[in-house]
Homo-oligomer: A and B are copies of this chain.
Amino acid sequence: MSDSINIALDAMGGDNAPEEIIKGAVSALETSPEIKLFLCGREDDIRAELSKYSYDVNRIEIVHATEIIGMDEPPVMAVRNKKDSSLVKCMYLVKEGKCDALVTAGSTGAFLVGGQIIVGRIKGVERPPLAPFIPTATGRALLLDCGANVDARPTQLVQFAKIGSAYVKKVCGINNPRVGIVNIGAEEEKGNALVKETFPLLKATPEINFIGSVEARDIPYGAADVVVCEAFVGNVILKMYEGVGTVLLKSIKDAFMSSGRSKIGALLAKPALKKTLKQYDTDQYGGAPLLGCNGLLVKTHGSSKAVSINNSILQCKTFIENNINDDIREMFSVSMDI
């Protein structure tokens, strides 16, 4: 294998495939000369899109795949039966070591199943968490698990905390990231059975900087760098972020458009507002990685446009250049020795 960073890209996954996927791919090649991309999907469709751009042909390889896994297909069946799908092909490229990472905007369910059963977990990792960044008033926070493993056990939440710390340390350059557990009150005795059991375990984990409970209200303020929770709760947090933000911004936009006076006001305030709201634009962070697998697997939003595909590819580059999986491997090989 060459010195390039090889990334598999599901050219057929998501609402805007293959157009936006290919557009994002070409743009990532332009900014990062060390990247080589493996585009998985229908060769004709991929070539047709690629013909719109000029790029270094040596840095793109097309891996033909006849099938596509739909967003609503039962994930386990889809991964098992559609061996010739673009997503499954991406998974095998990582499994076989031909690629270091993969990016898909396709089915989340199939992504999670494929990650576990095709690519596989790092030895010692019980359940790989899905770990997106969420924007905060002061920067960003890593939220994990946000949907991979419902009904997790306390020891698994402790693993999430350790994996998340290692990731944030390297990706955000925060030396001693603050780890908080999502709770319904700030006191140690508060919470449901899972949180009450997990709290003392986190306190007794020397590798992390555990700051205690974090109330959901304080997450958007930036109360912690690593926000640990069970997948159902994490998913609710992520979706509430999305839902409340979108509804509120839509209402504000409607208000701006409601009269001549407010329209002029909007026009004047637009540049300042645009700058502020960019801070809350999750596209800039790339997708959600499934951490703790043998390779980096990144899931971007189904509605991803080129910019978030581009950023997800750059996210893989950062991950690989920083050898984050080596840190995770070392972390769990040590715990295995005890």
**A137-B250, A280-B251 given; A184·B147 CB < 8 A:** yes
Contact segment of A7-15, A154-162, A166-174, A266-274? A266-274
Contacts of A270 in B (CB 8 A): 265
Are A184 and B236 closer than 8 Å at their CB atoms?
A: yes
Are B151 and A248 closer than 8 Å at their CB atoms?
A: no
Contacts of A243 in B (CB 8 A): 216-221
Contact segment of A41-49, A203-211, A253-261, A288-296? A253-261
Contacts of A137 in B (CB 8 A): 247, 250-251
Among residues of B, the one whose C-beta sits closest to the C-beta of A72 is B187
A188 at interface by CB-CB < 8 Å: no
A239 at interface by CB-CB < 8 Å: yes
Q: In the complex, which residues 214-270 of chain A have their Cβ closer than 8 Å to any Cβ of chain B?
A: 215-221, 231-233, 235-252, 254-256, 258-259, 261-262, 264-270
Contacts of A334 in B (CB 8 A): none
Bound: A231/B192 CA distance, A: 9
Among residues of B, the one whose C-beta sits closest to the C-beta of A187 is B72
**A231-B184, A255-B275 given; A192·B268 CB < 8 A:** no
**A240-B240, A268-B261 given; A192·B255 CB < 8 A:** no
**A233-B232, A272-B255 given; A192·B150 CB < 8 A:** yes
Contacts of A279 in B (CB 8 A): 251
A191 at interface by CB-CB < 8 Å: yes
Contacts of A150 in B (CB 8 A): 184, 191-193
A182 at interface by CB-CB < 8 Å: yes
Contacts of A184 in B (CB 8 A): 147, 150, 231-232, 235-236, 239
Are A240 and B255 closer than 8 Å at their CB atoms?
A: no
Are A269 and B255 closer than 8 Å at their CB atoms?
A: yes
- What's the least CB distance linking A197 to chain B, in Å? 12
Copies of this chain, whole number: 2
Per DSSP, chain A at the interface is: helix
Are B217 and A242 closer than 8 Å at their CB atoms?
A: yes
Contacts of A54 in B (CB 8 A): none
Among residues of B, the one whose C-beta sits closest to the C-beta of A186 is B72
Bound: A267/B236 CA distance, A: 36
Bound: A232/B244 CA distance, A: 19
Are A262 and B258 closer than 8 Å at their CB atoms?
A: no
Among residues of B, the one whose C-beta sits closest to the C-beta of A192 is B150
Among residues of B, the one whose C-beta sits closest to the C-beta of A149 is B192
Contacts of A221 in B (CB 8 A): 243, 247
Bound: A235/B184 CA distance, A: 6
Among residues of B, the one whose C-beta sits closest to the C-beta of A147 is B184
5 A-B residue pairs with CB within 8 Å: A184-B231, A184-B232, A220-B244, A220-B247, A221-B243
Known: A151-B193, A192-B231, A261-B271. 11 other contacts (CB 8 A): A147-B184, A215-B239, A219-B243, A221-B247, A248-B249, A251-B280, A255-B269, A258-B275, A261-B272, A262-B268, A268-B268
**Chain A interface residues (CB < 8 Å from chain B):** 72, 136-137, 147, 150-151, 182, 184, 187, 191-193, 195, 215-221, 231-233, 235-252, 254-256, 258-259, 261-262, 264-273, 275-277, 279-280
